[in-house]
Amino acid sequence: MSVETQKETLGFQTEVKQLLHLMIHSLYSNKEIFLRELISNASDAVDKLRFEALAKPELLEDGAELKIRVSFDKDAKTVTLEDNGIGMSREETIAHLGTIAKSGTADFLKNLSGDQKKDSSLIGQFGVGFYSAFIVADKVEVFTRRAGLAAGEGVHWASKGEGEFEIATVEKAERGTRIVLHLKSGEEEFADGWRLRNVIKKYSDHIGLPIELPKEFHGEEKDKPAEPEWEVVNRASALWTRPRTEVTDEQYQEFYKHVSHDYDNPLSWSHNKVEGKLEYTSLLYVPGRAPFDLYQREAPRGLKLYVQRVFIMDQADEFLPLYLRFIKGVVDSNDLSLNVSREILQKDPVIDSMKSALTKRVLDMLEKLAKNEPEQYKTFWKNFGQVLKEGPAEDFANKEKIAGLLRFASTAEGEGEQVVSLGDYVSRLKQGQDKIYFLTGESYAQVKNSPHLEVFRKKGIEVLLLTDRIDEWLMSYLTEFDGKSFVDVARGDLDLGLLDSEEDKKAQEEVAKSKEGLVERLKTALGEQVAEVRVSHRLTDSPAILAIGEQDLGLQMRQILEASGQKVPDSKPIFEFNPSHPLIEKLDAEPDEDRFGDLSHILFDQAALAAGDSLKDPAAYVQRLNKLLIELSA
């Protein structure tokens, strides 16, 4: 190695300092993951070289076989990992090794609790890329040169993980990256061929290029060859190209961690090879936890795209719809040109066919998970349910299939759990019931105790309780399921159809006719606050409720629009009263019109509060209530 030039000392980004401090000063239950992380990085570097060499074959330089080599020196207490991939320039080295990228590492830091034992376990699982080298090393050196740059533009990076690093320009004949780990005292176990071989087989067998170790030498030292002989210790075939019968669950799980940078195992996966009109292989995963940027619709997403086993791009988002943006995995096609760009992807009709098939594959995988592993599906729903609810609006072709995967709370189930599927609901329909009833609201407590449910409780009719902010918007696209239309129990004039007997309907008509005078008095008292006043058939215990007009926005949608600064169309509620309630009977008998007006407004405001709305004039409500309390106590 020639003399170093342009040598300088630079400081790490704050987050890196925090991370390195934890790695150097904590105990680890799973130290060996450092090798998994460094091999994954080396594999990515080779993938990037393959792709760039499609347009610039000269980047391959000597044309040597692409591979990763791991070696060790027991006497020097070092482990060295070398690849002949894309390498890094000086600027790239500073950017990649001095800062934390957006690949989830910053989110990982947010999850650190300050509890050394818990945090060390978390780091042990995740590894957080290159910095995991400091789990076992007290000094790390990197020698690298980007493909296409001159030999004199090599880079030497070195750090002891203490807040700063040195960087210098050096001579490096071969492109790619060599990392030398100077092992800490007590970590000498990794300077051992058998130990390294086992770790590589355990974590990196799926890597699709050769990982070589020096062959073990057995014999007299004088007969030892001058140059080491290398042997491949992994299968060196891309995992998705192997038959499913040859891949273990553990290998599928490790490959998921490789493609997703996640540290948990996936909930489920689907590995398929398609032959015929289209030829491609897909390996799709349902993650076990939600990423921090799940609700940033513009965040990077998509599958790793390969064409005939050549890596093309990391986040090809054209193969799945936006509502399935949480799915991770690989798609390898034989039908796309190797010089694929985003523009070509967007125009290629083959992509549309693959997207349709892969979307169906994911939905089938979720159906299978829901049917065979309901507890796992609960975890999925908790993490990704709100994103899946975007589906009916975005994917008309699969609306019914998506609807079957949705889960809701219900009046028929336990405390607030979103576990009821629409299939469950339909299977429990009462005789004569041809509708699916639901109620939206801000919280489970609010909708569970809503007066709108009183008649349904009385008749034993199940109602779905929808409390996510997205639910009212969802139901504007989800109009029916299994031939049964959806009915919002807080909207319009409730008609229970065959669930009401002829006697019930006749009695309702007679009561409505007998209360026409009270209806007119209430209309006059409430004036412009209401669109209509009518006798309610929904109530058994409460005196009054506010219903929403058939075409009007519900409370959830109004609040979402207002919060986003959009103008909300004017609408007025429908005031319904329970004619048999003692308060309504007293109101009907009240001769003083001023007092009648005050009582009417108190009932209106109480109904608004019960619906989860805020009062337009809280001070007036308090004054009227205080006035009534004073009268009662006099």
Q: Is 34 one of the annotated binding-site residues?
A: no
305 half-sphere exposure, CB direction, 13 A CA radius:
27
Q: Is 83 one of the annotated binding-site residues?
A: yes
Measured from the Cβ of residue 166, the count of other Cβ atoms closer than 10 Å reads 15
Please give the Cα distance from 165 to 159 (Å, whole number): 4
* Per-residue burial over 93-117, b = 16 or more CB atoms within 10 Å of its CB, e = otherwise: bbebbbebeeebbbebbeeeeeeee
Q: Is 557 one of the annotated binding-site residues?
A: no
DSSP label at 10?
A: E
Say which residue the tokens 């009054």 belong to. Answer: 544
Tokens of 151: 């030999």
Please give the Cα distance from 304 to 133 (Å, whole number): 26
Question: Going by DSSP bridges, is the β-strand pair 280-286/268-274 parallel, antiparallel, or unpaired?
Answer: antiparallel
Nearest to 53 by CA among 153, 144, 176: 176
Q: Which residues contact 111 (CB under 8 A, 6 or more apart)?
A: 122
Q: Is 41 one of the annotated binding-site residues?
A: yes
Contact 93, 236 (CB under 8 A): no
Measured from the Cβ of residue 28, the count of other Cβ atoms closer than 10 Å reads 17
Please give the Cα distance from 306 to 304 (Å, whole number): 7
Measured from the Cβ of residue 386, the count of other Cβ atoms closer than 10 Å reads 17
Q: Is 134 one of the annotated binding-site residues?
A: no
Please give the Cα distance from 106 to 292 (Å, whole number): 10
Q: Is 515 one of the annotated binding-site residues?
A: no
Alpha-helix runs per DSSP H in 312-372: 342-347, 349-372
Q: Is 129 one of the annotated binding-site residues?
A: yes
Say which residue the tokens 């299977």 belong to. Answer: 427
Q: Is 51 one of the annotated binding-site residues?
A: no
Q: Is 282 one of the annotated binding-site residues?
A: no
3-state secondary structure of 169: strand
Alpha-helix runs per DSSP H in 415-535: 422-427, 444-448, 454-459, 471-477, 502-514, 516-526
Please give the Cα distance from 448 to 463 (Å, whole number): 10
Q: Is 567 one of the annotated binding-site residues?
A: no
Q: Is 268 one of the annotated binding-site residues?
A: no
Q: Is 85 one of the annotated binding-site residues?
A: no
303 half-sphere exposure, CB direction, 13 A CA radius:
26
Q: Which amino acid is at 470?
A: I
Q: Is 177 one of the annotated binding-site residues?
A: yes
Binding residues for ATP: 37, 41, 83, 88, 102-104, 125-130, 177, 342
Binding residues: 37, 41, 83, 88, 102-104, 125-130, 177, 342
